[in-house]
Amino acid sequence: MTADKMRVLIVDDIAETRENVRKLLQFESDVEVVGTARSGKEGIQLAHELDPDVVLMDINMPDIDGITATEEIRQKAPHIQVVILSVQGDQNYMRRAMLAGARDFLTKPPMGDELISAIKRAGEMAHTERAKGAKQQFTASAGAGASVPMAGYTPASRGKIVTVYSPKGGTGCTTIAVNLAIALHNEDTRAVLVDANLQFGDIAVFVNEQGKNTILELAPRVDELEPEVVEEILVKHEASGLRILAAPQRPEMAEKVSADQFSKVLQFLQRMYSYVVVDTSSILTDIILSTFDVSDVIVLVTTQEIPAIKNARLFLDLLLTMGIGKERVVFAMNRYDKRIAITPERVSENLKHEVSVTIPLEEKIVVTAVNRGVPFMLDNKSQPVGRGVLSLAEAVRARLNVLEAENEAPVIKR
């Protein structure tokens, strides 16, 4: 057994279920079943004795139910992660499980791949929590010393939040957000890409990094975040070096993240990265609205279609009512086709807001990139669509510089 193995305790009152799960997990080289329990009470006792990384907990048991057992285990050993299994998949059970401290909630019988992915996510979190606890113990015993900043952690500067939004679905908002983040990212100005579409977010698919950590690993602990832990949870896109904070893997899990938690995560990421690029849905949820409030710049995406332009006008009006000035908006026209009579100039005049950037229509390149999970800025940035995104990145930088200069300008009293 290696120290990196994920140690699992199975708690279920049905012997057949315990055996089936044990047999499934024996084929995973990085997972070890360290024990099984037939009741909630026995599960609590074995969790204390065996100190597993992950507890697979049935929700319905004859003595102590799985939710109560989860709560007791997590109170005594917060590094142990619990994955709850239930034949009932309704929202009430899920909410109660998460409030008790469960890391994940699966409906019985779960698919094999689904169960293994949940265990590995929970196991990685357990290892992170153990390392965090060990570090805190060492720091306490060694006394306060000079800390070494994490790679990408820049405590002396505040990063900028750039939110990409379109009030009309299907305009290519996610494509722009993903490729803009890559365009802004380099060794000197590191970027992180965050998915604010918590129900049906796709950025993990766009960069082929599904099935890994999500916002759910950060939201419950927003008031005790540390750069080292955040860095461990963020997914690294190896091809670009970009860090990613993905949406939950199932839409029903979105309600576990509040607008306040999401805003705090974004503001913490500002301490670590030069750019925090946020992808959004067109639906104005509390999370999206709170993201606008903390954003330095909003990239408003439209196309040459009349409904998209109409919605862009409505959105600009909405920003005024929210107290967000137009100077914080960079207006981009995506999928621009010169053959269509609706020009950027006409849209600028009609909406009384300049279209700063046009990104040309190159359907083959864009669709191929999405289907491959390889953003086109990695291998097609010299093509017109890539140059359009580079122009957008420059427009964002320029706007941020102007806003920063205005904020720093001295007030002249008369």
> In the prediction, which pLDDT does 123 show?
86
- 378 falls within a domain: yes
> In the prediction, which pLDDT does 144 show?
41
Both 215 and 299 in one domain: the answer is yes
> In the prediction, which pLDDT does 412 show?
46
> In the prediction, which pLDDT does 91 show?
65
Both 255 and 402 in one domain: the answer is yes
> In the prediction, which pLDDT does 132 show?
63
Confidence of residue 244 (pLDDT cuts 50, 70, 90): very high
- 151 falls within a domain: no
CATH no. for residue 247?
Answer: 3.40.50.300
**Residue predicted with more confidence, 153 or 123:** 123
> In the prediction, which pLDDT does 410 show?
55
Averaged pLDDT, 67-78: 89
**What digits encode the pLDDT tens for the residues 204-227?**
999 988 767 899 989 988 888 888
Rounded Cα–Cα distance for residues 21 and 28 (Å): 12
* Nearby residues of 209 by Cβ (< 8 Å), 6 or more positions away: 235, 237, 244, 246, 373
Both 111 and 189 in one domain: the answer is no
Both 127 and 176 in one domain: the answer is no
Confidence of residue 155 (pLDDT cuts 50, 70, 90): very low
Both 127 and 164 in one domain: the answer is no
Query: Tokens 């916002």 belong to which residue?
Result: 215
> In the prediction, which pLDDT does 413 show?
42
**For residue 382, pLDDT beyond 70:** yes
Name the burial class of residue 185, with classes exposed (0-12), middle (13-18) and buried (19+) by CB atoms within 10 angstroms of its CB: buried
Q: Fill in the amino acid letter for 373.
A: G
Highest mean pLDDT (candidates 75-79, 150-154, 296-300, 319-323): 296-300
Both 261 and 393 in one domain: the answer is yes
Confidence of residue 69 (pLDDT cuts 50, 70, 90): very high
**For residue 139, pLDDT beyond 90:** no
CATH no. for residue 62?
Answer: 3.40.50.2300
Confidence of residue 109 (pLDDT cuts 50, 70, 90): confident
Both 267 and 196 in one domain: the answer is yes
- Tell me which residue range forms the domain holding 215: 160-408
Both 290 and 334 in one domain: the answer is yes
**Residue predicted with more confidence, 195 or 92:** 195
- 172 falls within a domain: yes
**What digits encode the pLDDT tens for the residues 165-189?**
999 999 999 999 999 999 999 888 9
Both 320 and 398 in one domain: the answer is yes
Q: Label each residue of the chain as H, E or C.
A: CCCCCEEEEEECCCHHHHHHHHHHHCCCCCEEEEEEECCHHHHHHHHHHHCCCEEEEECCCCCCCHHHHHHHHHHHCCCCEEEEEECCCCHHHHHHHHHCCCCEEEECCCCHHHHHHHHHHHHHHHHHHHHHHHHHHHHHHHCCCCCCCCCCCCCCCCCEEEEEECCCCCCCHHHHHHHHHHHHCCCCCCEEEEECCCCCCCHHHHCCCCCCCEHHHCHHHHHHCCHHHHHHHCEECCCCCCEEEECCCCHHHHHHCCHHHHHHHHHHHCCCCCEEEEECCCCCCHHHHHHHHHCCEEEEEECCCHHHHHHHHHHHHHHHHCCCCHHHEEEEEEEECCCCCCCHHHHHHHHCCCEEEEEECCHHHHHHHHHHCCCHHHHCCCCHHHHHHHHHHHHHHHHHHHHHHHHHCCCCCC
> In the prediction, which pLDDT does 362 show?
93
Average pLDDT score, the chain: 87
Rounded Cα–Cα distance for residues 318 and 323 (Å): 9
Averaged pLDDT, 10-25: 92
The count of structural domains within the chain is 2
Contact by Cβ (8 Å): 54, 142: no
> In the prediction, which pLDDT does 254 show?
92
133: which strand partners? none
Averaged pLDDT, 277-290: 94
Both 192 and 66 in one domain: the answer is no
Averaged pLDDT, 36-45: 93
**For residue 148, pLDDT beyond 50:** no
User: What Å distances lie between residue 276 and 78, 141, 171, 263, CA to CA?
Assistant: 30, 35, 21, 12
Both 345 and 393 in one domain: the answer is yes
